[in-house]
Structure 1
Amino acid sequence: MAKYKICKHTLHFEELAKALDANNIEFKVKDCLKKCSKCRSKLLVKKDDDYISAKTVEKLLSKLDLDVN
């Protein structure tokens, strides 16, 4: 089961999806995470019951404790 969920409407969705794939991170694309105001202004990922957001893909990956390729 995917550990992370991302909304298909999140800011820079394609860039985020490519970065997660490049880091071999399993994720699931959802139609909506019910956090539209954050999702459309920042990158937003849901991990279990927690939401993690950042302004750039690199910052988001660092919050996920991942190395940027």
Structure 2
Amino acid sequence: MIKVCAFSRYFEDISSALEKENMDFTSKECLLRCDLCRTVPFVMVYHEFIIGETIDNLIVNIKERLL
């Protein structure tokens, strides 16, 4: 399951991109990674943080992890 931090600077963009790709996700109030939350797009997948330089790069990285 993909988890997105609701406080992330990129929350709206990440959730829109995930919906567009038909990927199931859940939002969490906090993923305890404030250092990432304000600087780069990221999600948590199976207890692992996936980071992208851009939203598109993040989606590619998520797809690679889920394969």
- TM interval, shorter chain, is 0.7 to 0.9
Alignment of 1:16-27 (within 5 A): 16-27=14-25
Question: Share of identical aligned residues, percent?
Answer: 28
Give the TM-score taking structure 2 as reference length: 0.87
Q: Which residue of 2 aligns with 1:65?
A: 63
Q: Which residue of 1 aligns with 2:34?
A: 36
For residues 54 and 46 of structure 1, the distance between their equivalents in structure 2, rounded to whole angstroms, comes to: 12
Q: Which residue of 1 aligns with 2:45?
A: 47
Structure 1 residue 65: deviation in Å? 2.1
Gaps of 5+ in 1: none
Q: Aligned match of 1:15 in 8, 13, 16?
A: 13
Q: How many residues align?
A: 64
Which letter does structure 2 place at the counterpart of 1:50? E
SS in 1 for 2:63: coil
